[in-house]
Structure 1
């Protein structure tokens, strides 16, 4: 590839990364004034299941301050998410000739939507059930005193993990489009995917009980089936020769 073309692409990537950082910074600066409300919103799955009168605590003086900063930064990252997705797409798409059905608008819109759906499912369904279960494990003689910082870190990890996992249908569709996997391969290995879903659910969920793990494994199974559907929609009509060395078929 011509050196000038490479430099031109690197310059475009650099400018898009700068744009992502700018959006993130503006989002952080604008949302810091509302960081208390943001933090209260993130705390709601825990405070909603705690015994009456109980609250989270902090044992390190700057802990609350740093949680406010992280809450504002999290909003900034979410606001920059579409730009981040577009930047990632712009880096990989030209190398694999991804055009046609998989337009940048479609990929960015779907990836952002799937991430927010996954994070919302975690926030409204998984976290309340999981935290209620964990608090209920303690005997009546023991008071739950969750740390603000530790809870915030756990909540952010869960929200990000579920948001990322819900990208599965889009990832599978892209892999099918560039010829790495085929719908036949996905159907043939469905049973292994289901097994992997339960293993991943056991890793991601903070509780050992089967019910909460099913809350994660169930959507993973559905997402895999949606991935097969996406693979059928976006699979090239002609055999792909973009990445023949990596192509996996049934």
Structure 2
């Protein structure tokens, strides 16, 4: 084999080794994420009953005196608290999971991209937690009281624990994502995809879209839809204010050059 052939094969071998190295690093970081979640889960597992009781507290307050949740499945009393505890373990380990993801992605970013990406990750995490807190402390308590108030006296209002967990998980995700709206608006503006003027013009359509989204992701009652649609509209306006305060990507680049 000639020297020319070796030179041609060299870069391909390097690329293959680089790809393998990235895959090995990705596997290592995924393993670390899984281990972190499992460690948190192991620490929380002795308290599975208490964690589920805390999660079900907003509904228990709305139930009639002496009523309890139902478990229609044979293993549901064990599996549902286990799934709840695993979900809580994931939420607690989420900062570490995102830190591992950031450690894998960051080396491939430019300096400007790093300055933009890191605040976005941190603020997105904070807003997601705020959305879940709003859902648990305000939405659940109001919605369950509202629904229980319409239950006839002849009806035994006692939901199944599996369906309750599915309902709670869906709302947690819906409200967590809803609270990301200001971050999305700021990022779109920062990347030059949209402007403050365009965002203001789209505001009426956003209001209609907010109620459509609320109708899809919440129970079919007016209160639940309002509790999701109104924060969505308010957070959209907050995003517009933040864009006006921090400026567009063009303005920020001009300030950096000066």
Q: Give the structure-1-normalised TM-score.
A: 0.83
Q: Point out the structure with max Rg over C-alpha.
A: 2
Correspondence 1:213 to 2:225: yes
**RMSD value, Cα:** 2.7
Describe the superposition over 1:208-248 as per-residue Cα deviations: whole angstroms up to 9, x where unpaired.
22x332111111011111222333426313599xxxxxxxx
> Structure 1 186/87 Cα, relative in aligned 2: closer, same or farther at 3 Å?
farther
1:90 Cα deviation (Å)? 6.0
The residue correspondences of 1:209-248 to structure 2 (distance < 5 A) are 209=222, 211-232=223-244, 233=246, 235-237=248-250
> Structure 1 84/29 Cα, relative in aligned 2: closer, same or farther at 3 Å?
same
Matching residue within 154, 157, 182 for 1:141? 154
Matching residue within 170, 180, 184 for 1:167? 180
Matching residue within 85, 92, 108 for 1:79? 92
- Flag the structure with higher helix content: 2
Match of 2:7? none
Count of aligned pairs between the two proteins: 238
1:97 Cα deviation (Å)? 6.6
Describe the superposition over 1:165-215 as per-residue Cα deviations: whole angstroms up to 9, x where unpaired.
211111222222223222222122111111111111122221322x33211
> Structure 1 110/30 Cα, relative in aligned 2: closer, same or farther at 3 Å?
same
Whole-Å Cα distance in 2 between the matches of residues 172 and 9 of structure 1?
Answer: 32
C-alpha contact (below 8 Å) 1:85/1:111 kept by paired residues: no
C-alpha contact (below 8 Å) 2:29/2:101 kept by paired residues: no
1:149 Cα deviation (Å)? 1.1
Structure 2 residue runs without a partner (length 5+): 1-13, 254-258
Structure 1 residue runs without a partner (length 5+): 241-250
Q: Name the SS of the counterpart of 1:56 in structure 2.
A: coil
C-alpha contact (below 8 Å) 1:130/1:206 kept by paired residues: no
Whole-Å Cα distance in 2 between the matches of residues 167 and 5 of structure 1?
Answer: 35
Whole-Å Cα distance in 2 between the matches of residues 235 and 8 of structure 1?
Answer: 38
> Structure 1 234/97 Cα, relative in aligned 2: closer, same or farther at 3 Å?
farther
Q: Give the structure-2-normalised TM-score.
A: 0.81
The residue correspondences of 1:82-121 to structure 2 (distance < 5 A) are 82-86=95-99, 94=108, 98-99=112-113, 101-102=115-116, 104=118, 106-121=119-134
